Structure 1
Amino acid sequence: MFTSWFRYDFGYSWPLTLGHGLVFAAALALAAIAAWRGWRPWLVGAFAVVAGWGLAGTVAMHHAGQINEPVRVPTRAFLASGSGRVLDLGAGSGRATVGLLLARPNVRVTAVDLYRGYYGIDDNTADRLRRNAATAGVGDRVEVRTADMRQLPFGDGEFDAAMSVAAIDHLRWADVERAMREAARVVRPGGEFLVVSLNVDLWVRTAVPLPLHGHGYWGRSPDRERWRQAFSRSGFDVKEVGTGPATLYWLVTRR
């Protein structure tokens, strides 16, 4: 896990990738200094508590959030055959793309994104995704396109499956449904669509105890029933709903 923090360039800023670790190191050093110099016990305890939070936050961000690593596929049921042509909606710097290609060695992925600045990654480009795929040794199985998931430049039923990891759920609700309908159009009947969202569980609340300014996405979990109904309206049947560390996912099939 630790070596992959520096192996890939997924573009996240240092407060997200290293911030909790720096807090841990600084607070631990202050606690040691305070104890050595005989400062008030409550002050030593306060520094120790902050150090503990920094350590817990580091584990949460990198184990649960996988913040600078390829994203784990949350269910074995997705592309259980191990092959097929897959569309990754909102691929960004490629965390989910690379994760899928590593987990399913016979799939090919077309990754699409608008490649505009968002969520602290202002310089995302298609080339960054290509570099990360090459680093993982899967660059020959990915094609990167600049496209809008709400208006896809692909034919009907062109893909065996689609996925969107921490992407479609960032849209306004009307645009979420537009993107769902587009996914239903380009995925063949019987094909799968995997949507992965942040689940505001104990892992997330440990790492980010207060909602980030301008990042309300961190402060709530999706309404499962609302999403189920939207999938149904868009032409999908829900096959599986599940959770993992900091993760909520839906696996649906195209009618």
Structure 2
Amino acid sequence: MFTSWFRYDFGYSWPLTLGHGLVFAAALALAAIAAWRGWRPWLVGAFAVVAGWGLAGTVAMHHAVQINEPVRLPTQAFLGSGSGRVLDLGAGSGRATVGLLLARPNVRVTAVDLYRGYYGIDDNTADRLRRNAATAGVGDRVEVRTADMRQLPFGDGEFDAAMSVAAIDHLRWADVERAMREAARVVRPGGEFLVVSLNVDLWVRTAVPLPLHGHGYWGRSPDRERWRQAFARSGFDVKEVGTGPATLYWLVTRR
């Protein structure tokens, strides 16, 4: 796990990738100094608590959120055949694309994104995704296109499956449903669509500082029933809904 922190360039800022670890190291050092110099016990304890939070946050961000690593598939049911042509909606720097290609060696992926700079990754480009795919040794199985998931430049039923990891859920709700309908159009009948979102569970609440709880993307999990109804309206049947560390996912099939 630790070597992959520095192997890929997914573009996340240092507070997200290294911040908790730096807090852990600094607080642990201060706790040791405080104990060695005989400072008041409550101060030693305070530094130790902060160090503990930094360590827990490091584990949460890298094991659960997988902030600077290829994303693990949340369910092995997705593309159980092990092959097919897959569309990755909102691929960004390629965390999900690379993760899927590593997990499914016979799959080919078309990755699409607008690449306009967002979520603090202002220099995201298609070339960054290609470099990450090449680093993983899967560059020959990915095509990167600049496109809008709400208006895809592909024909009807062109793909065997689609996925969107921490992407479609960032859109306004009207645009979420537009993107769902487009996914339904370009995925063949019987094909699968995997949507993965952040689940604000204990992992996330551990990693995110208390003042941010309940605010923004880190503050709430998606409304499962609302999403289920939207999938149904868009032409999908829900096959599986589940959770993992910091993860909520839907696996649906095209009617």
Identify whether the pair has TM-score above 0.5, normalized to the shorter chain: yes
Question: How far has the Cα of 1:93 moved from its partner?
Answer: 0.2
State the Cα deviation string for residues 81-121 of structure 1 (Å, max 9, x = none). 00000000000000000000000000000000000111111
Q: Within 2, Cα distance between the matches of 1:12 and 1:130?
A: 16
TM (norm. structure 1) is: 0.98
With over 3 angstroms needed to count, the CA separation of the structure-2 counterparts of 1:180 and 1:211, relative to structure 1, is farther
C-alpha change, 1:228 and 1:213, in structure 2 (3 Å) is closer
Question: Per the alignment, in what secondary structure is the counterpart of residue 238 of structure 2?
Answer: strand
Call closer, same or farther: CA 1:70–1:218 in 2, change over 3 Å. Answer: same
Displaced runs of 4 or more, over 3 A: 209-215
Counterparts of 1:121 and 1:42 in 2: how far apart (Å)? Answer: 40
Change (3 A) 1:144 1:246: same
Deviation of the 1:235 alpha carbon: 0.1
Deviation readout 1:137-186 (Å, 9 max, x if unpaired): 00000000000000000000000000000000000000000000000000
Q: What are structure 1's unaligned runs of at least 5 residues?
A: none
1:210 positional shift = 3.3
Q: Does the 8 A contact of 1:156 with 1:187 survive in 2?
A: yes
**Residues 178 and 108 of structure 1, relative CA distance in 2, 3 Å threshold:** same
Q: Is the 8 A contact 1:211 1:218 kept in 2?
A: no
The reply on whether 1:171 has 2:132 as its aligned counterpart is no
Shift in CA distance, 104/93, structure 1 to aligned 2, threshold 3 Å: same
**Distance verdict in 2 for CA 1:215–1:16, change over 3 Å:** farther
What CA deviation, in whole Å up to 9, does each residue of 1:226-245 have, x standing for no partner?
Answer: 00000000000000000000
Counterpart Cα distance in 1 of 2:214 and 2:143 = 32
Task: Give a deviation string over 1:59-90, Cα, whole Å, max 9, x none.
Answer: 00000011110000110110000000000000
Unmatched 5+ stretches in structure 2: none
Provide the C-alpha distance between the structure 2 equivalents of 1:151 and 1:90, rounded to a whole number of angstroms: 12
How many residues get paired?
255
CA distance in structure 2 between the aligned counterparts of 1:39 and 1:145, rounded to whole angstroms: 59
Determine helix, strand or coil for the equivalent of 1:50: helix
Q: Normalized against structure 2, the TM-score is what?
A: 0.98
Identity over aligned pairs, percent: 98
SS of the residue 1:211 aligns to = helix
Question: Structure 1 residues 68, 190: CA separation in 2 closer, same or farther (over 3 Å shift)?
Answer: same
Contact 1:211–1:219 (Cα < 8 Å) also in 2? no
Contact preservation (8 Å) 2:78, 2:251: yes
Contact (CA 8 Å) 1:119, 1:215: kept in 2 or not? no
**Deviations 1:9-63 (Å, cap 9, x if unpaired)?**
0000000000000000000000001011111100000000000000000000000
The equivalent residue for 1:191 is 191
Q: What corresponds to 1:71 in structure 2?
A: 71
The alpha carbon displacement at 1:209 in A equals: 3.4
Q: Could you say which residue in structure 2 is the equivalent of 1:91?
A: 91
User: Which residue in 2 is equivalent to 1:220?
Assistant: 220
Residues 13 and 187 of structure 1, relative CA distance in 2, 3 Å threshold: same
State the distance in 1 between where 2:182 and 2:245 align: 29
